[in-house]
Amino acid sequence: MDFPYLIKSFAEEYKLDKLEPEPNGCVCLKLNDRECVIVPDRNGESLSITCELGMPPQDQAESLADLMMKMDFMLAGQGAAGVSINPYTGAYAISNRCSILHMGTGDFAQWLEDFLNTADTMAKLITVLQVPPAEAKPAV
């Protein structure tokens, strides 16, 4: 499958207006209140996706960095995603890559859903750390 076709089919299936690759080939979209960027490789054989998770709270930066690196190790072992810090903003980001050579539109939607579920879970960790302990509620 080619990337423009996958994006067009995905947009039609989920009734997303004007979702098509930019002139540089990337697609920027907002899913689950997260801005994601999907970039195809030069050969059109794989895609990379990235979205920011949030800013680390200053007083928890060290413990959050330790937790994020452990999560990165776990996710990398599953081939699910990678965690990093945006060098320009300081925010945590999550990214993933997949082959689209044999990917159908349902596979593409499932890949996005799995990625967003992981991103949401990781973002909740950051949010919980940003709330003072007396106000914190368990993440569900």
Q: What is the pTM of this model?
A: 0.79
Residue 108 lies in a domain: yes
pLDDT at 139 over 60: no
Residue 136 lies in a domain: no
Give pLDDT tens digits for 72-110.
777 776 666 788 888 888 888 889 999 999 998 899 999
Give DSSP secondary structure letters for 15-32. Answer: T-TT----TTS-EEEEET
Q: What is the pLDDT of residue 132?
A: 52
Give DSSP secondary structure letters for 45-101. Answer: SEEEEEEEEEPPPGGGHHHHHHHHHHHHHHHHHHTS-EEEE-TTT--EEEEEEEE-T
Residue 137 lies in a domain: no
What whole-number percentage of the chain has pLDDT above 70?
Answer: 88
pLDDT at 49 over 90: yes
Residue 138 lies in a domain: no
pLDDT at 136 over 50: no
Mean pLDDT across the chain, nearest whole number? 82
Q: Do residues 48 and 38 lie in contact, with contact meaning Cβ atoms separated by under 8 Å? A: yes
Residue 29 lies in a domain: yes
Q: Print the domain residue range for 109.
A: 3-130
Residue 112 lies in a domain: yes
Distance, in Å, from the CA atom of 68 to the CA atom of 63, rounded to the nearest integer, reads: 9
Residue 121 lies in a domain: yes
- Mean predicted confidence (pLDDT) in 14-26: 85
Q: What is the pLDDT of residue 129?
A: 66
Residue 135 lies in a domain: no
**Tally of structural domains, the chain:** 1
CATH of the domain at 71: 3.30.1460.10
